[in-house]
Structure 1
Amino acid sequence: MLDEEGVDAGPSSDPVIWVDGQLYADPKDARVPATDHGLVVGDGVFEALKVTPAGPFAVRRHLDRLERSAAAMGLPAPDRAAVREGIDAVLADRRFANGKVRITYTGGDGPLGSQAAYGRPMLVVAAAAMTLPPVSTDVVTAPWRRNEHGALTGVKSTSYGENVRGLAYAHAHDCGETVFRNTAGNVCEGTGTNVFCVFGDEVVTPPLSAGPLAGITRDLLLEWFPVTERDLTLEEALGADEVFLTSSLRDVQLVERWDGHAFTGLGAVTTRAAAVFAERSAGDLDP
């Protein structure tokens, strides 16, 4: 089973679910109302963070982004103490070394339409085991474009239908990820990843003005490794020596082929970037 970032969700053991302060022994008992605005119109935001043997990674940064996404959606700021309580609860008796935590925060009870929700926001925290992703993958270019000027640009909202379609498109082409261009024709992002291209010793990633989500792993790599932010055409990207993806669940992942094009580079720069990220993240669980 694959999660929203296209990563194998691991063994089919049931996830542990916490909803608004209550932990459920059986996830089938966890319920949200049929009128929850996150369910009805996708009026919600979420975060997905990795769990290592040492614990959940970069919680503070994920909560910062959750707050930014909530504000962009017009939702009240989530209670950070409550989110941390939920994370602690779902991981208290974990039986896996590597996994993920999913935090979902919705508008709560609302109308059967796009008018504003009128209920108290709902907070759901879930945890499950996750199989470590492969070190490399293939990607394909989406036939659809990201709108870098849209209301949800840069927002990690639960309105994820476009990414569901994108990931299905990748799987239909025997790839692990789909990359979107924006309306200007430049490389934007994957369904759940940021894109990096290597030209010699220079590493380039699209700027946030191109429309990608400000990924947590992207931000950390920009702090820990020399990276240039600038627009990239698809033709430029396909001419790179190496390409790699980053995400909270993939870390740094080499791209072997893009639209069937095999890159000639041996992945030396990608390997260095992955090593730096692994070392720095292992040394600080909440950088």
Structure 2
Amino acid sequence: MTPENRVIVWFGGRLRGHAEPLVLATDHGLTVGDGVFEACELLGGRPFALTRHLERLERSAAGLGLPLPDRDVVRAAVAEVAEAWGESLARVRILWTAGPGPLGSDAAWGPGTLVVAAAAVSAPRAASVAVVPFVRNERSAIAGLKTTSYAENVRALAWAHERGADEAVFGNTRDELCEGTGTNVFVEADGALLTPPLDSGCLAGVTRALVIEWAREAGVEVREQGLPLGIVHEAEHLALTSSTRGVVPVVAVDGRELRPGPLTQQVAEIYARRHVETPDP
């Protein structure tokens, strides 16, 4: 296996071979997408902001009506995977599903399924985005939950890639700016950073929350407010945040070129420094 294709997998209390079959065909995470997950950065062999990610994993599980995973077991599994991975940059993915169940939408029988895996991730870079014709439903039963029901994101990202973009950006049913497939969006305008509020239907990103906290501590004005989707076609400066991107500038929207904004650059530097200094903020 080449380094870029290397995968470390934990399941059932121990590390497994990357090609070893593990999950039952009746697992609800597979059959109906009844599961949740988290993905956090492995930086120097340590998972970044693991506590915040586990808290969100539990919120997402509760939102789907799933029993909560044993946090101590998850931490131990992540530590074992991280140690096996080593020092190079990676993503660790924590998957928790409802477990085996009927081949339909009735509740699973359980018990839940836990899989923790690590794989290489590329270094963050500036991004181009495309605004997709699909929308986020801010009133959906799974709005704001990080679930395994990701087909919508897969399709949107493919649509963006077909148009030469790195990421897709969604509006919601109110034609407001919402989020990317795996990112939160910040608009730099009038000396402040603006980002959609959680009631827009966007995910409560861990990096989003840290950027808001750390930027405000540094004296940067950050506001959570509803924004029209069209602002991405008018703003001079945009940024994306995520656990594996950190803070990166948007350099094009639907082919319109943009320059990195001064606040984006300032906050990116703050985040880059503090996320190394504070591994579990």
Between the two proteins, the alignment pairs up a number of residues equal to: 275
Show CA shifts across 1:120-144 (max 9, x none): 000000012222122x111000111
Quote the residue 1:156 is aligned against. 146
1:93 correspondence with 2:110: no
Q: Is residue 2:210 matched to residue 1:220?
A: yes
Residue of structure 2 equivalent to 1:104 = 95
Secondary structure at the counterpart of residue 78 of structure 2: helix
Change (3 A) 1:11 1:253: farther
Query: What is residue 256 of structure 2 aligned with on the other side?
Result: 261
Closer, same or farther: CA 266–77 of 1 in aligned 2, 3 Å: closer
Change in Cα spacing, 1:248 to 1:266, as seen in structure 2 (3 Å) is closer
> Counterpart amino acid of 1:99?
A
Cα offsets for 1:179-229 (capped at 9, x unmatched): 000000010000000000001311100000111000000000111113111
CA–CA distance in structure 1, aligned partners of residues 247 and 175 of structure 2: 25
The residue number in structure 2 matching 1:230 is 225
The whole-number CA distance in structure 1 between the counterparts of 2:72 and 2:86 is 24
Q: Distance in 2 between the 1:102 and 1:110 partners?
A: 23
Deviation per CA, 1:129-173, whole angstroms, max 9, x where unpaired?
A: 222122x11100011110001000000000000000011011101
Task: State how 1:114-263 maps to structure 2 within 5 Å.
Answer: 114-134=105-125, 136-225=126-215, 226-263=221-258
Structure 1 residue 271 corresponds to structure 2 residue 265? yes
Does the 8 Å contact 1:19/1:30 carry over to 2? no
Tell me if structure 1 keeps the 8 A contact 2:45–2:87: no
Q: Is the 8 A contact 1:200 1:241 kept in 2?
A: no
Match of 2:69 among 75, 78, 81: 78
SS in 1 for 2:213: helix
Instruction: Give ranges in structure 1 of 5+ residues lacking alignment.
Output: 1-9
Give SS of 1:158's match: coil
Residues 10 and 81 in structure 2, CA contact (< 8 A), matched pair in contact too:
yes
Match of 1:69 among 56, 60, 63: 60
Distance, in Å, in 1 between the alignment partners of 2:182 and 2:128 is 14
Partner of 1:13: 5
Unaligned 5+ residue runs, structure 2?
A: 216-220
SS across alignment from 1:103: strand
The corresponding residue for 2:218 is none
Rounded Cα–Cα distance in structure 2 between residues aligned with 1:67 and 1:179: 26
Q: Report sequence identity in percent.
A: 47
2: distance between equivalents of 1:162 and 1:212?
14
CA contact (8 A) 1:17 1:30 kept: no
The amino acid across from 2:69 in the alignment is P
Contact kept, 8 Å, 2:250 with 2:260, in 1: the verdict is no
Query: What secondary structure, in the 3-state scheme, does the structure 1 residue paired with 2:110 have?
Result: coil
Q: Distance in 1 between matches of 2:102 and 2:212?
A: 42
- Note if contact 2:69-2:96 (Cα within 8 Å) is conserved in structure 1: yes
**Which letter maps to 1:72?**
G
- Per-residue CA deviations over 1:37-80 (Å, capped at 9, x if unaligned) read 10000000000000111511000000000000000000011110
Structure-1 separation of matches of 2:256 and 2:276:
34
State whether structure 2 residue 275 is matched by structure 1 residue 281.
Answer: yes
Partner Cα distance (1:100, 1:262) in 2:
30
Distance in 2, matches of 1:222 and 1:46, equals 23
Deviation at 1:266, TM superposition (A): 4.4
Distance in 2, matches of 1:73 and 1:147, equals 16
The residue that corresponds to 1:37 in the other structure is 28
In the superposition, the TM-score normalised over structure 1's length comes to 0.93
Check the 8 A contact 1:61/1:216 in 2, yes or no: yes
CA contact (8 A) 2:42 2:82 kept: no
Partner of 2:19: 28
